[in-house]
Amino acid sequence: MSDFFDSLSDPDYASSYNALRNQDKSMGFIYVEDNSDIVFWDTFVKKGLSKRYELMTASQGETGKRALEKMYDKANPMVLIAVDSDYDYIDSKFNQDHPFNTNRYILHTFVFTRESALIEQNSLQEFFHRCRHTQSHNIDIVNFLAEFSQLAWHGLVKFITAKYCDNYQSYTEEEFKKCFHLTDKRLINDSELTLNIAELQTVKSNIDKLFSSQQFTDRDLLNIETKLHELDISQDNAYRFIDGHTLEYLVKKVHKELTDVVRNIEIGVIRNDFTGKEIGERITQFDERTMSRFRIDTFFLNYPINEDDEIHQKILSRIKNIPKVALQ
């Protein structure tokens, strides 16, 4: 299997492959974790580089980040690797020999996952605001994620302290991730069409319970806070540094509850304003023309690069700073 990965990262292989497939020997490869990552990385790479790359997953049945990690030391100007950061971005602060620090040809998201990079609270608020028809709502996703981020910071500091300070019991990523599980809760107040901020106390209780046996010192916690701040991680954006899929499921849960309520309200309006077969026709029209605009997966797929977004800035900067010799 090592020979297989050696061939995938061989610049001559990349040149020969693309000469046959695209008649362009100068075209390189970018290996991604999954096919669903291609659009995301292609958007950033086209924005940041003039050199052309073909994006693909590793083959031979072994895909995902673990497969790409085997190629880290072989990433080169012709063969880039693009991955979710997970906790590696934070780990790189504690290990100067981490591949993220030593190999400029490894691209990463700077937040937990691709989903974390796409879930930026202000852009998301604009999308949620458009999820309405004749009736308005009061969903404030910015405030909700701000409160959630405060709790994420509270937990993240303790999780990283336990991981890197010898005086404490460490915890698995799975244990920490479970603290943020809220998809079994009702997150929208139907009568007021507002978010139920009180349900976030579940997260606080879960974090407190997980770390209840630890006696963290203020010095250790402050030291970790300082290191996280040096990575530009703070109370304001910590929500993007916990498990990205958990964050995605939370946002989709809010969206599902909102669109269900909006649909029920609009059907009530239709039943009040129309009679007979027109009711069914109007409901069908509403579902086809209006509800289709509310699809959150479309938002994720078409989310543009926002150069005011600190995370998008970091991703673009890393791409643009690939050594110039690599682009010739």
Q: If you search the block for the tokens 């362009």, which residue do you land on?
A: 24
Mean pLDDT computed over 187-213: 95
Tell me what pLDDT residue 300 has: 82
Name 31's bridge partners. Answer: 56, 81
Answer whether 88's CB lies under 8 Å from 98's CB.
yes
Identify which has the larger pLDDT, 191 or 276. Answer: 276
pLDDT at 17: 47
61-66 LR contacts (CB < 8 Å, sep 24+): 62/1, 63/33, 63/34, 64/33, 64/34, 65/33
- Residue-wise DSSP of 65-86: HHHHHTTGGG-BTTEEEEE--T
Q: What is the pLDDT of residues 104-147, one digit of tens each?
A: 999 999 999 999 999 988 889 999 999 989 889 999 999 999 99
What does the pLDDT look like over 303-323, one tens digit per residue?
678 888 999 999 999 999 987
Lowest mean pLDDT among 25-29, 198-202, 264-268: 25-29
Minimal CA–CA distance to 77: which of 57, 49, 100, 98? 49
Highest mean pLDDT of the ranges 1-5, 92-96, 163-167: 92-96
pLDDT of residue 304: 72
pTM attached to this predicted model: 0.87
d(CA 228, CA 222): 10
Q: Distance between CA atoms of 42 and 49, rounded to whole angstroms? A: 10
The percentage of residues in the chain with a pLDDT greater than 90, rounded to a whole number, is 74
What pLDDT does 11 receive? 53
Task: Give the span between the Cα atoms of 80 and 64, in whole angstroms.
Answer: 15
What is the Cα–Cα distance from 77 to 138, expressed in whole angstroms? 49
The arithmetic mean of pLDDT across residues 155-181, rounded, is 95
Hey, what amino acid is at 200?
L
Residue ranges per domain, the chain? 2-115+317-327, 121-304
User: Packing angle between helix 141-164 and helix 121-130, nearest 10 degrees?
Assistant: 150
One-letter amino acid identity for 140? D
Percentage above 70 pLDDT, the chain? 90
Interval 36-71: pLDDT, tens: 999 999 999 999 887 789 999 986 667 799 999 999
State the Cα angle at 104 between 100 and 110, rounded to 5°: 45
Residue whose C-alpha is closest to residue 43's, from 317, 305, 282, 324 = 305
At residue 290, the pLDDT reads: 85
Interval 196-222 mean pLDDT: 96
pLDDT at 262: 92
Q: Contact at 8 Å (CB) between 291 and 282?
A: no
Cβ-based burial of 201 (10 A; exposed 0-12, middle 13-18, buried ≥19): exposed
Please say if the pLDDT value at position 5 is more than 60: no
Q: What type of residue is 254?
A: V
User: Per residue in 221-233, pLDDT tens?
Assistant: 999 999 999 999 9
